[in-house]
Structure 1
Amino acid sequence: MEDQKKVEVSVFVPVYNHREYIAQTLDSILMQKVTFPYEIVIHDDASTDGTTEIIREYEARYPVIIRCMYQTENQFSQGNLHPIWNCQLYMCRGKYCAMLEGDDYWSDPDKLQRQYDYMESHPECSLYMHNAWKLDVQTGSKVLLNTFSQSGYYSQREQVLCGLGSKFPATGSFFFVLEYLRKDLPEFVIEAGVGDYPIRQIVANKGAVYYDERPMSVYRYMTRGSFMKSIRDNMDKYVDYIVKMCVFYQRFSEYLDHKFDDIYSMKIDSDILGMAAATYDCREQVEPAWLQNKLDIFYRMLSGGQWIEDVKKLLDRDEAVWIYGTSTLAAICKQSLEQGNIPVKGFVVSDGYSKADTFDGYMVRYVSETKGNNDFYVIAAQPINQESIERVLHTNGEARYYSPYRLSKEEK
């Protein structure tokens, strides 16, 4: 390890106020059984809860392995991601880079060696991801992410789609060729506001993407200080995040010569619809103008209006409908239907989906429990998920449904 040129893998660990978790995070890296030299590069974004002191203790104990950048002011809160990116791009010295956020941890001591060996023997591969556990720290529930159904190579289109809907790969599973991230990195990637999804897209575009169904890490969800919790607790941050990501999707689609315009268009629509359903009127915060136009359209959709009349034309007299979904959007959909004097039977979710017995005062059923009655379904889901829901309905022999929250070609 003394010879810097021999570092094969850099483990990049972004940290902010992770005092409760950082020791387990670092221990899970240090427990790795490897035959190659590696380093741990930590970016501490001016933690205030004692995290910094814990990191310094580890740095003193492992001076050859651990290298740190300590900020004196929090950069992320100022919208400045350049120092974080610079730390990963230029402090990391390995041929490969693995990522692990400061509140997550690796659960398999053979993870790094397994990924390294595969990448060394498959030079066509630019990114290796694996299955992971999702641990909700508020409820204690632990489920497998199961991003893909089995191990193997996945197309760029499949890779782009994963993470845009309900399934995503854990950041702690990323293992990639570092040079692919450094070379010709577009500025709009750094401006996206987050790092994990843009990083995955950039490196995946440089080669083949391999997924390993073996779970080797744990993703802690909704921890104190986590990005996802911060945007859920602050609607202004949430709106800013959605706008930045929508701009990134548009720019990245252009970067890929519009190969996946259909996917990114659906994702933008989904995020703007989700924002409209979750927030107060935020038009003044949303730029550019093309996003404002989409937001206006979705606000009109959420109020009911024309689509309620369209549904009435498809129903028998006094027929009640099922609402497909149990999100905030589904609750808004129920309100619109009731205001339009369309009775609601209850809510439906896909088989295997985690559900409660009731939602918003109505029963919740799996779709297999409602099939065979020629019932009518109103799909209250984001555009990115609507096609898969329609396939589920057809698989169950259900052909009567309506998707009110999808933009027409003219509206796009």
Structure 2
Amino acid sequence: MLSEQSTPVIRATLPVVGSALGDISERFYVGMFDDHPELLRDLFNRGNQANGEQRQALAGSIAAFATMLVERPDVRPDAMLARIANKHAALGITSGQYKIVHHHLFAAIVDVLGSTVTPDVAAAWDEVYWLMANALIAAEERLYQEHRLAEGQVWRPMEITGRREETPDAVSFMLQPANGDSAGSFRPGQYVSVQVELPDGARQIRQYSLSAAPGTAHWRITVKRVHGGASPDGEVSSWLHRNAGVGDVLAVSAPFGDLVLPDGDSPLLLASAGIGATPMLAMLDHLAATGATRPVVVVHADRSPADHAHRDEQRRLVQALPHAGLHLWYEEPGDEEASVGQADVGALELPSGLTAFLCGPLPFMRTVRGDLLRRGVPAEAIHYEVFGPDLWLGQD
């Protein structure tokens, strides 16, 4: 909770600071990477830096957290912090790195806002930063402890034991620890980070959902090749598509992520678009493997049947569940059992008391969430996963 002396200062300066957060975050990253080029080379996603999405996500998360502190002081932003903490843990972020961020962030604030940053203003925003940072540090420490890992020590070598082309732009890799041990368990819906060394020596990291159920000796990830044009977007996915094969060893993190299948027998909605189907596949696979009888509504949208990764597998898993239904939409025709156009969850018959899970491009998730809210589904029952920086924060 924000202190009594800082609350009015944050409330008064939030419009000014909020409107400048885009410039502040840009200056912040420039300054930090000038002093610590290894962070851009080996930790931060260079594609998201090039297209500006990481700057937008940082600004959105700070604005959302500060706004909640002054407008809803009795509400803990657990969902937002949990999502960020899981992303950080999957990257091996350490508590000491928050001091680096603090130094460069406040230098950027002073640089952009100048004399507006009085000692009282600086102290109040310093309090906001450390409230958020310490909450994340504590959450990340709990995540490391759950995996019995030292802080930041999330990596282990995993061998590719299988490779399968799913579509022209999606390939699956089977992974097993290089020492021959079992891959270990995870919660359906979680993801891992994969670190690869690129030709320029950078060790770039990307997250990929585990796309099959836990319980086997290996894990499976499905990587969609991202066509990034002039920006470095897609440099890791493209490298994996071109170079990674059976017998190769990758650095892979422990599993993280808060979009996970809940226990019980309450109804579920699993709505995905494009490669967003991957966490839903792990959930469906787990439900089928455990003989679940709960009602499950599965929605998937894609460009065409040929672009739909794991299409036959998804259909087979839905058919294996006694109370599940599959609803498909493709932008291009080609499947007699699918509708043509954009997904329309608002037209479906949905069971009461459902929990919804969404994964896919942000416009798709916004549309589905809006349809569900209009149908009376409570906001707290709608969960989502974003591949990349969470641009939803501070905008919803």
Larger radius of gyration: 1
Q: Which has the higher contact order (CA 8 A, sep 6+)?
A: 2
Give the TM-score normalised by structure 1. Answer: 0.29
Give the TM-score normalised by structure 2. Answer: 0.30
